[in-house]
Amino acid sequence: MLERLARWLRVLGYDVASSRLAGPEAGAVLAQAAAQGRILLTRNRQLAEPGLGGDSLLIQPSTPLAQLTQVIGQFQLRGPWTLFTRCLLCNATLNPPASALTDAPGSPPSGTVTRQCPHCGRHYWEGVHTRRMRAALKRGLGPRFAEVVG
- All structural domains of the chain with their residue ranges: 3-149
pLDDT at 132 over 70: yes
Residue type, 92: A
pLDDT at 57 over 80: yes
Percentage above 70 pLDDT, the chain: 83
Q: Measured between alpha carbons, how far is 102 from 100 in angstroms, rounded to an integer?
A: 6
pLDDT at 78 over 90: no
